[in-house]
Structure 1
Amino acid sequence: MGLFDRIKRAFSGHEEEENEETEKYDNALEKSRTTFGDRLNALFANFRTVDEDFFDDLEETLIGADVGFDTAVKITDELRDEVKLRNVKDPQAVAKVIVQKLVDLYGEQGVNEDNSLHYAEKGPSVFLFIGVNGAGKTTTIGKLANRLHKQGKSVMLVAADTFRAGAIQQLQVWGKRDDVPVVAGPEGGDPAAVVYDGVRRAIDEDVDVLIVDTAGRLQNKVNLMNELAKIKRVIQKELPEQPSEVLLVVDGTTGQNALSQAKEFNQTAEMTGLVLTKLDGSGKGGIVLAVRNELHVPVKLVGLGEGIDDLADFDSTKFVYGLFKGLIDAPDEPAEDDDTQEADQK
């Protein structure tokens, strides 16, 4: 049974099964779901037959829905064969096959994927957060610190973004709100030195999780990547097995730009996972499929709203259901039996 069928079975009668987090996924992905549905409807409105022109436009539609170029090409090629095999002609049936392909493709890619956050068996776990300015990095750190603190873990924050005006103060506000300490230095100071102080203090105070905020922009990209590499070396000098997580925070509203950022950072930072923010304010939820299938890096956390509790662990089943809910829930066309056909003829 493919992921599509498992999801449909799992969420049949979903009103009774729905929990709070499923609702958050559903609400956050409403814009993306509408955008994707509108694109498909516009495509089918232009075609009465499924021909080669249809497949060319489908490929463009999928790319426009931010599922990624490679994914769009693969889905289109597979759909050509599937349509011929099933002799599918009805537009709604074709739409269902498209969604089924997208769902099952994600499921195949994520079979052995570990979406959970990793922690050190002994000593502090270091979570290094990276990403460009404006992606929601500091806010994500604040929300994660709040969650971990509520779970009973001792948490410490490091304000290593010493270049952006107000970044240190922003993290300190979150620290006060979360009731967790923040290690900081002077604005414009050496980020690696601040990280060193944070690591030493976390070791001395037996902290469970040390979360490091980093700069999203320096004078140029080379300087930024060199600074991140330096910070990582400082951490590993004191804690050789760390960081447990290198998490890239990308703004879900930026679509394909998020994928480009992920590719650039992954070349230097060797990230362990991604955090996609602002999915509730975007019609570009398909970028999750693009990032996962083109980079083979797991999405670990998603921002589903502005509230402090709206940072969720990524759940591929809930995500896919939220993104394609209408098409997954659509009833299959029942086969007419002989009695029905005879009645119609009369």
Structure 2
Amino acid sequence: MVTINWTSLHPSTFILLGIPGLESAHIWISIPFGLVYLMALLGNCIFLCLIRTDPGLHQPMYLFLSMLSAVDLMLSTSTLPKLLSLFWFNDGEISFEACLTQMFMIHLLSIMESGFFLAMAFDRYVAICHPLRHSAILTHPVVGGLGLVVAFRGVLLLTPYPFLLRWLPYCRTNIIAHTYCEFMAIIKLACVETMVIRAYGLMVAFLSSGLDFLLIICSYILILRAVFHLPSKDARLKTLGTCSSHICVVLLFYFPCFFSFLTHRFGHQIPRYIHIFVANIYLLVPPMMNPIIYGARTKSIRERVIRVLISKRIPIFTQS
């Protein structure tokens, strides 16, 4: 990678380095990353098609799942194509405007994903704690309204980000030691005091993913209270089974999310390549795993996938 001498206060381009310390392995790393991207595209597209075409899946949980799948598709696509271009062709150059756009989209979609996890936790809470009122509370207009609230919250919190970063002077370097444009990675290049902007970033993180995670924990505390009041062990296990998929995807999303967030700000002893690798896992693996987990553990979706596969095979056998 050629280092560019750069003294302008407002760069026209940034240079993404990829994963510092693992440059020689970029090609090999790109293979699983590319496969993850393809599986994420395939799985989420299948989910969206199934939910759209099957009226039996037009229920709150599946509608929230379709919103999550749409966000996962956009989140993967906002990072993977540029990452693969960097790893395959050493093309790390990205314009200043494109970098700010990518940063905005990554953080916006991550906040929206967190919001949909909270909405799905609310759906599980109503379904278990107030089953007789579930259809009356979570009507289609309410589900759509919750989706709009999740999107509006993300836009409201994230809109200041590109403007704040645009006003900063960058007189150190235009090289970003990362695989994509990330808020903290960009702000570290500024040559002025950024304490206020960093504080705003912390506030955004708390009001989005942090608050969502606390509310999800509260919802599951109430769910567990209701489950333990059920009369039989089988009923308790069956009820908890309806939450297992959601619990798995929540843990898969929030653990690397919090690890990435905390190490960027406080984990100065952790090697940079570990942080960047985990940051990529946080963006790439959940979009792939979400449809796999729900497809494997949700009977309704499993049955519909099998039904589609069988219907596609029948004409082949009849012709032969």
Report which of the two has the higher share of strand: 1
TM-score of the pair, normalised by structure 1: 0.20
TM-score of the pair, normalised by structure 2: 0.21
Larger radius of gyration: 1
